[in-house]
Amino acid sequence: MAKAASSSSYESLAIGIDIGGTGTKFGIVDRIGNVLFSSEISTRGHSQVESFIDELHSHLSVLIEKAGGTGRMRGIGVGAPNGNYYSGTVEYAPNLPWRGIIPLAKLIQNKFQLPTILTNDANAAAIGEMMYGAAKGMKDFIMITLGTGVGSGIVANGKLIYGHDGFAGELGHTIIIPHGRLHEGTGKKGSLESYASATGVKLTAIEMLEKSQEASLLRGIPKNQLDSKKVYDAAIQGDKLAKAIFDFTGEILGLALANFVMFSSPEAIILFGGLTKSGDLILKPTRENMESNLIQVFQNKVKILVSHLKESDAAILGASALVWDMKI
């Protein structure tokens, strides 16, 4: 992706901003992926996007000065939920405090007087992995973020797939179990996200505890406090029901990954996010079920890798990486 640095820009830096539902992380990154300075502000505290950008500007200005001033900044890359690469807008993002269609790239560009490019957070993560992480040197891979929701970024022929409208890569919303579990946010049934997200694992835990009579360490935990960390803690103590929760989640995730492989035949699938911390408890059933659903020509070829980028840096790195590919 990266073009060779010209002699006049070899010292230029990129600003990466990752906007999440709760907080917004930002930092200044050099060409080889060192996060030189970084900080964070609240997203949720700003009901108006203008006040959010004002606070972002005042905090980032300090970092920019530390890093040598605006003149060294090549541009700003932004990752945001429901971000559209083509239009630079964030559209109807359920997890952000701003409603409707927000021309976020334009607002930031006007405030900072720096070229600004935006994409959705999972696409930014994919670019970060391609430039600095587990997908370095790969031309065909799929990034799956397993967090509160399930996000994805797809790279084929060395390029991110944005689709005709900029919204490609919503793999979390593909239907894996027809007429399956209701996804509250979309009203659709049986999507990957309704099972393989933090929310999904919690719902699976609640369902399995209700359906089964088996003793489990999880029975002592109030429903609203169940999460994949607690399921993990129980599973490593040998709790059968906790293991079954991961097996079930891996069964669905593995089937979904098989379908994705038969679409774009990636060299690897890179997983990122909270659920991956459960290691082989989730990865083993995922791998097994991916393989068992693949036709022969794809079997034992596709790596499932866990991102090794520091979680705190990955989002900033991914967003900043957009800058090096900008046409300016």
Segment 152-171, which members bind a copy of itself (CB under 8 A)? 154, 156-157, 159, 161-171
- Residue among 64, 50, 61, 55 nearest 23 (CA): 55
Q: Is 91 in the site for a copy of itself (CB under 8 A)?
A: yes
Taking the least distance from each CB to a copy of itself, the nearer of 38 and 174 is 174
* Distance separating alpha carbons of residues 305 and 72, to the nearest angstrom: 35
d(CA 32, CA 209) in angstroms, rounded, equals: 48
Please, what is the minimum distance in Å from the beta carbon of residue 144 to a copy of itself? 12
Contact flag: residue 95 with a copy of itself (CB under 8 A): no
Q: What are phi and psi of 80, to 5 degrees?
A: -150, 150
CB of 51 to a copy of itself, least distance (A): 27
Site residues (CB under 8 A) for a copy of itself, limited to 236-275:
255, 258-260, 262-267
**Residue number, 12 or 152, with CB nearest to a copy of itself:** 152
Map the footprint of a copy of itself across residues 273-312, applying CB under 8 A. Answer: 293, 295-298, 301
Question: Which strands sit side by side in the sheet containing 303-306, from one edge to the other?
Answer: 159-160, 150-156, 141-146, 268-272, 303-306
Cβ closest to a copy of itself, residue 12 vs residue 204: 204
Among 40, 55, 140, 233, binds a copy of itself (CB under 8 A): 140
What is the smallest separation between the CB atom of 2 and a copy of itself, expressed in angstroms? Answer: 17
Count Cβ atoms below 10 Å from residue 324 Cβ, excluding itself.
Answer: 20
Give the β-pairing of 150-156 and 159-160. antiparallel
Do 120 and 81 meet the contact criterion of CB atoms below 8 Å apart? yes
Write the binding mask 41 to 80 for a copy of itself: x where contact by CB under 8 A, - elsewhere.
Answer: ----------------------------------------
Shortest distance in whole angstroms from residue 174 CB to a copy of itself: 4
User: What tokens does 265 get?
Assistant: 């035949």
Task: Specify whether the CB–CB gap between 206 and 225 falls below 8 A.
Answer: no
Q: Which two tokens stand for residue 140?
A: 């065909």
Binder among 71, 137, 178, 238 for a copy of itself (CB under 8 A): 178
Q: Give the C-alpha separation, 290 to 105, whole Å.
A: 38
Show the binding pattern over residues 120-139: x = contacts a copy of itself (CB under 8 A), - = does not. ------------------xx
Burial of 71 (0-12, 13-18, 19+ CB in 10 A): exposed
Q: Which of 188, 243, 277, 284 binds a copy of itself (CB under 8 A)?
A: 188
Distance CA 97, CA 58 (A): 20
Q: 224 vs 220, 239, 241, CA distance in Å?
A: 12, 20, 18
The smaller minimum CB distance to a copy of itself, of residues 295 and 328, is found at 295
Query: Which residues here bind a copy of itself, judged by CB under 8 A?
Result: 82, 91-92, 138-140, 154, 156-157, 159, 161-171, 173-178, 186, 188, 255, 258-260, 262-267, 293, 295-298, 301
